[in-house]
Structure 1
Amino acid sequence: MQPQQTVKLAIDCATQELIASEALLALSEVEFTALRRAAMTARGVRRQGGHAECFQCAICRHPVYLSRRMSGVQNRWFVHDGKSEECPWYEGNRLTREQTKALIYRGQQEGAPHRAMKQFIATWLAKDPLVSDICQEQTTFGAVVKGEWRRPDVKCSYRGTPLVFEIQLSYTYLSDVIARDEFYRREGIFIIWVFAKFELNRAVVTDEAFFNRRNLFVLDQEAMQQTAERQSLTFSGVRQVPTLVDEHILDAWTSEYVELSDVMFPNDTLRPYFFDYDAELKKIRSAQLEAWREQQKEAWHHTIQAYLDAAVRYYDADYADNLQAPLLTVVDQLSENTFWHRGFECLADEGFYGYHAVLPVLLSIRMNRSIGYSKNFSVFQVMEAGLRTGRHGVGQHAYAILYLWAYKRYAPSMTARHRQWLIDYAHKLKTSIQAGEATYRRYIGYDEAICLLFPELENDLSSDFGASTDAVP
């Protein structure tokens, strides 16, 4: 059977965009069901004399709605709402709704299985002490819109809340389903649609499943047996459950027995449900996101250490050219992590990691040995050189405060004479800063990268003591 696509193009009335009929086949069930309900809701408004359109035929601009076929080759297509005989895409005459129902029920308005299910539900509701006011086929007149009425299969009060059961054993037009939903919602009445089987090849079943949080109330033989064993009205609660498999979320239909006490009654939709697909999906995605963040965090810390290790190898090899590229490769790896931001870009700046730059001095202080300088140098000699060495665009003493903070935090080995020299130097530096002089103003452009590699200095670097943003390396 070839797909039926009579109306080749439709116009989205909200966006004025053209929609090819083939595009309907690519939509997910959730997306298609939402569009189908919206179009049928608009159709219902038009039937009541109102003006509402979701889609139009691209040739005749006549309103169209969405239809589907679930058996054989699954298909979806646009259908003209009413006659548009001059349109080349018009489908032709159709059977009336009454003719279609006559064929389905063979002239009967209701079959024996339908009556039996109504009686079964009513009988077991009567055994529930939380249920009252049970009736079958009682006409309910609208209190909101005068003249409207519905005759639900079974109606009752559950925990003081009005509740109706509508049984679906054969084809029902989606427009009828929508009309009943809207009527009961206006009247503040909860509605449960009941099916005898789980048949996703039936359009009405698929529409209901993907509209009501992927929940279906099925009263099959197994559910009836459970009802007798539990002495409480029980349904086979079919639901679609999302599951995380190899980093992909897969949906699977499962079933569990559901009593009324297991059902939730949301006041916003008045459509009872027993499983919240969206909440479960959100929980899975949150866990997935958290796991991903943990992976990123772990990789981040691992790569930071890899950067430090690569830097030490580079310095210990006397800045060998062949070891510079691996260091910069690690920076590229860091830049692909979600924790990366522009403040870390200086990790690839030779003014930060290069010959006798900031990084080798800080590593020498923390590791208590000469790194990036002569192997015969003491840590004091590295510091002394660093304290008096500036770079292009940066003051000669722009890193002095930083190195003194590092010395205080890491306490490398030092002779008494050298310690006193540093104390005197620090005193002179402090006096100069307090006097407002610029000699020892601290360059802060590397602060974020330094906090990343030397977290022990983060508290010191948060201070604005001697800070300057004027100099740029």
Structure 2
Amino acid sequence: MIGNTTVDPLAWAEPVTKPEIDTVRNPRTGHVLNVRRLIRAFRYEHAILLRQKLKALIKRDGARLVCATCGVPVYLACSTTKRFFFRHRHEDGSCPAVTRTGLSEADIRAMKYRGAQESAAHRRIKELLLRSLSADPRFKDVVQEKTWKASEGLTGLRRPDVSAWTDTDRLAFEVQLSTTFMDVVLSRKEFYRAERATLVWVLPNFHPSYRRMTDDDILFGNNSNVFVVDERSAAASEAAGTFIMTCWYRKPIRQGDEIVDEWIERQVCWDEVTVDVDRQTIVAFDYRLAAARLGEELRAARSEWLATAEAAAKLAREDQEDVLREEVLRFVLDPSRDDDHLPRYHAWALLHDRLRSMGYGLDGEYPDLLTATRIVHLIESARAGTPVGFRYKSFAELGHHLIHQHPELLLAFGHMLRRFGTRDALYRDDRTGKLRAKLDAMRSDLLQDPKYRMPEDQERLCAFLSLGGSRKAWPNNDNTDQSGRAAA
């Protein structure tokens, strides 16, 4: 076990320190990608699956990524320390990036075969597998080392360690003891898929804290399930009269606001596994489905938490706004005020800083207290149905004043009269009818003429202090027309 590196499936993948190929290109889009950044964008388990997809594409003479320097198709490879890099499909010396040794994978496989042949351990696991399958009457034609020839129109042959039939499945069992090139794993999957059979990888032992690269290829390619056949599982099969294997699988669980894995080890009988010929998977637990459901649950919980937090923040802000609004109104309407007294302007500056921090302040370095006072008096006059703070005795006088001195306030004043239900008071003292005549004459220009438009900062402050009363209500329920002509 010394020297093995085992990586958490949910950890972020890591590139080698100095990759020979530092950029790759997507031949379809032309995008050039930094290798280190690309690799770090994947979780470790997804990097393993990407590695398999890229290699499978290359085996079919396809390419999702090519070397940005020479254009040769590349696939993701992994170092002995489980760090990733890109390797050329082939090298002829024309590219400065050298990613392959002098020995081919076929050479290395031949060396391993000459050095090991079939070990006693390998034969022992085959015997245990034969005993386990033979204990279950549902498995027919249980044989070892039977050659499978490709069907008509296909090429190649395979000799699985053990093969068997059930009423619904044709199965090929391969005992995996030593490391195996990913090419071998992919080739066998493709062969058995074409034969409408399912490949079942069997390990002599497994532990999630010590996983070889081959184990990871089998594990993640099989939806995070691996199967072990040993003395214990064989004895259980014979005792129960049904085929039993030990299954290790990942199970996603919520831990706070994230998903983590726990590893489960249990004996499973054949009735508990799901066989998928097209995907070439045999699983006792559907990790992908469970992770997807948990991800949805977590996203829903996060959305609910965010909505609750946003609602709480909104309520807190509304409370702060209510307090600030009342302070501004009280400050301006204080009958004991002295507008010429310096401390009052200092107090206004502090109050205005709070308005500005919440987005309702007036523009400029020195906010005009007189402007704020006029806005407050306009609001209170509309609310009361009588002039407040303008030193006029009637609404008609106030109306004439606004027309001639502050036409920019007319629209806001009209909206507030309707909102507060005091519109009729505007004409109550208009004995001569002059106010109505003036308003009727200017009505068509209220929305077009810039002189009737409040400066943006003043309009914002007025809307805040009037609780939106100075703006046209929408949708309206007071029969104002959609053009916004509400002043009269």
Partner of 1:38: 53
Deviations 1:339-389 (A, max 9, x none): xxxxxxxx55689x9445489838995xx999xx76x99xxx99x979996
Report if aligned partners of 1:240, 1:253 keep a CA contact under 8 Å in 2.
yes
Q: What is the identity, as a one-letter code, of the residue corresponding to 1:325?
A: D
Q: What is the identity, as a one-letter code, of the residue corresponding to 1:135?
A: V
Task: Summarize the Cα distance change of 1:142–1:107 in structure 2 as closer, same or farther, 3 Å threshold.
Answer: closer
Partner of 1:298: 312
Q: What is the identity, as a one-letter code, of the residue corresponding to 1:206?
A: D
What's the offset of the Cα at 1:396? 1.4
Partner of 1:328: 356
What's the offset of the Cα at 1:170? 2.2
Task: Summarize the Cα distance change of 1:289–1:260 in structure 2 as closer, same or farther, 3 Å threshold.
Answer: farther
Partner of 1:414: none
Asked if 1:169 corresponds to 2:177, the answer is yes
Once the two structures are overlaid, the 10-residue window that deviates more, 385-394 or 229-238, is: 385-394
Deviations 1:162-205 (A, max 9, x none): 55544433212111111222334444444443433135530122
What's the offset of the Cα at 1:122? 1.7
Which aligned pairs between 1:360-371 and structure 2 lie closer than 5 A?
A: 361=379
What's the offset of the Cα at 1:37? 1.4
Q: Which runs of 5 or more structure 2 residues have no equivalent in the other structure? A: 4-15, 333-346
Report if aligned partners of 2:76, 2:85 keep a CA contact under 8 Å in 1.
yes
Task: Summarize the Cα distance change of 1:186–1:40 in structure 2 as closer, same or farther, 3 Å threshold.
Answer: same
Partner of 1:208: 218
Q: What is the identity, as a one-letter code, of the residue corresponding to 1:278?
A: A
Partners in 2 of 1:457 and 1:264 — Cα distance?
67
Partner of 2:189: 181
Report if aligned partners of 1:443, 1:468 keep a CA contact under 8 Å in 2.
no
Counting aligned pairs with the same residue, the percent is 16
In structure 2, which of residues 270, 289, 302 is the aligned counterpart of residue 288 of structure 1? 302
SS of corresponding position for 2:185: helix
Partners in 1 of 2:402 and 2:324 — Cα distance?
24
Which aligned pairs between 1:226-237 and structure 2 lie closer than 5 A?
A: 233-237=244-248
In structure 1, which of residues 234, 252, 257 is the aligned counterpart of residue 261 of structure 2? 252
SS of corresponding position for 2:350: helix
Which aligned pairs between 1:371-450 and structure 2 lie closer than 5 A?
A: 394=408, 396-407=410-421, 421=425, 438=444
Partner of 1:112: 123
Partners in 1 of 2:32 and 2:175 — Cα distance?
38
Partners in 1 of 2:377 and 2:189 — Cα distance?
69
Task: Summarize the Cα distance change of 1:436–1:386 in structure 2 as closer, same or farther, 3 Å threshold.
Answer: closer
Partners in 2 of 1:225 and 1:433 — Cα distance?
100
Partner of 2:110: 98
Partners in 2 of 1:221 and 1:283 — Cα distance?
40
SS of corresponding position for 2:279: coil
Larger radius of gyration: 2
Partners in 2 of 1:155 and 1:423 — Cα distance?
99
Report if aligned partners of 1:397, 1:439 keep a CA contact under 8 Å in 2.
no
Partners in 1 of 2:31 and 2:423 — Cα distance?
78
What's the offset of the Cα at 1:142? 4.5
Q: Which runs of 5 or more structure 1 residues have no equivalent in the other structure? A: 332-346, 408-417
Partner of 2:13: none
What's the offset of the Cα at 1:33? 1.6
Q: What is the identity, as a one-letter code, of the residue corresponding to 1:361?
A: I
SS of corresponding position for 2:201: strand
Partners in 1 of 2:278 and 2:471 — Cα distance?
50
Q: What is the identity, as a one-letter code, of the residue corresponding to 1:92?
A: G
Q: What is the identity, as a one-letter code, of the residue corresponding to 1:461?
A: W
Partner of 2:336: none
Partners in 2 of 1:224 and 1:143 — Cα distance?
33
SS of corresponding position for 1:468: coil
Report if aligned partners of 1:164, 1:191 keep a CA contact under 8 Å in 2.
yes
Q: What is the identity, as a one-letter code, of the residue corresponding to 1:328?
A: R
Q: What is the identity, as a one-letter code, of the residue corresponding to 1:462?
A: P
SS of corresponding position for 1:283: helix
Q: What is the identity, as a one-letter code, of the residue corresponding to 2:185?
A: V
Partners in 2 of 1:254 and 1:398 — Cα distance?
67
Partner of 2:207: 198
- The higher relative CO (CA closer than 8 Å, separation ≥ 6) is in 2
Partner of 1:135: 142
Report the TM-score when normalising by structure 1.
0.65
SS of corresponding position for 1:175: helix
SS of corresponding position for 1:294: helix
Report if aligned partners of 1:41, 1:178 keep a CA contact under 8 Å in 2.
yes
Deviations 1:206-244 (A, max 9, x none): 223334443434456776677667966353332152534
What's the offset of the Cα at 1:436? 12
Task: Summarize the Cα distance change of 1:52–1:462 in structure 2 as closer, same or farther, 3 Å threshold.
Answer: closer
Partners in 2 of 1:189 and 1:456 — Cα distance?
74
Q: What is the identity, as a one-letter code, of the residue corresponding to 2:475?
A: S
Asked if 1:307 corresponds to 2:321, the answer is yes
Q: What is the identity, as a one-letter code, of the residue corresponding to 2:108?
A: T
